[in-house]
Amino acid sequence: MGISKVLKLGEAMLLLSSSPQLFGMRRLEVVETTPERVAGALAIASKHAKIFLKRDEKTGTAWLRMVDAITAYTWMELKLPLHAHDQAMKKFGKIYGLEYVEFP
């Protein structure tokens, strides 16, 4: 993930945490990324490489969607609805019967 995406993620988190009702949520809770969650995320990414490993067909380069893997692990752990707009996460949720709410 490039620095520009990290900055955009930070901006989105500030907006979400200050006004979750704009996105149809009552509240937003930010949870800590612990070493256990990172380890769990890596295990999930390994098991579901087609979802969490992104490949550039032209160059053959591949990179891990680590933030998504951590999100998926935490989603499984907390069993709360995930509000997102991401087909890969939607697919992951279907595999495990997790509630996914699509952002408009």
- Per residue in 14-72, pLDDT tens? 887 788 787 777 777 778 899 999 999 999 999 999 999 999 999 989 999 999 999 99
- What are the two backbone dihedrals, phi and then psi, of residue 64, each rounded to the nearest 5 degrees? -85, 130
Average pLDDT over residues 72-93: 94
Q: Is the pLDDT of residue 1 over 70?
A: no
Q: Residue 9 and residue 6: Cα distance in Å, rounded?
A: 5
Range of the domain at 23: 1-27
Q: What confidence category does residue 97 fall into, taking pLDDT thresholds of 50, 70 and 90?
A: very high
- The reply to whether 21 and 58 lie within a common domain is no
Cα separation of 45 and 67, whole Å? Answer: 11
CB 74 within 8 A of CB 39: no
Question: CA 64 → CA 15, 25, 74, distances in Å?
Answer: 26, 29, 17
DSSP assignment letter at 104: -
Please check whether residues 8 and 46 belong to one and the same domain: no
- Report how many domains make up the chain: 2
